[in-house]
Amino acid sequence: MSEYQIGDKVTAFYKTGKYIGEITDIRPQAYLVKVLGVLKHPQQGDLHNPKEVQVALFHERKALSYREQTNVPKNMVKPYDGPIPQYADTLKEALQKMKAELMADPSPFAQLSLKNVETLEKEYF
């Protein structure tokens, strides 16, 4: 018996992002979650070398799209209680929060991440 049911609203951590979503399927090790909002924008750069700039490729990481579905390990899913905000509003707020944190950080990682954020802002909005 699984802890959550199809249709339940949840928060889901995926890579370095956090999302509001709805469970659309239950798999043996994961829930299939449809993205409805962004609570934390994914960190920029190489997931395997966090906060490093001397990597083969400094990735531009986008947030999962509205209604995009992704498998989330069961232990990374928590209940969500509250109204579901507009996706575009949550994306903008999550990106602005990340941008503010990066602007307060003088490290080379933060400066490179800010360049990615500026590109993402143009693509998103």
pLDDT of 71 > 80? The answer is yes
For residue 46, what are the contacts with CB-CB under 8 A and spacing of at least 6? 52, 55, 56, 57, 58, 59
pLDDT of 104 > 60? The answer is yes
pLDDT of 2 > 70? The answer is no
Q: What angle, rounded to 10 degrees, do the helices at 87-103 and 108-124 form?
A: 160
CATH of span 9-124:
2.30.30.430
What mean pLDDT comes out for the span 2-11? 93
pLDDT of 1 > 80? The answer is no
pLDDT value for 47: 87
Q: What is the pLDDT of residues 27-53, one digit of tens each?
A: 999 999 999 999 999 999 998 998 999
| Domains in the chain: boundaries | 9-124
DSSP helix/strand/coil, 91 = helix
Alpha carbons 41 and 27: distance in angstroms, whole number: 25
- What's the whole-model pTM score? 0.93
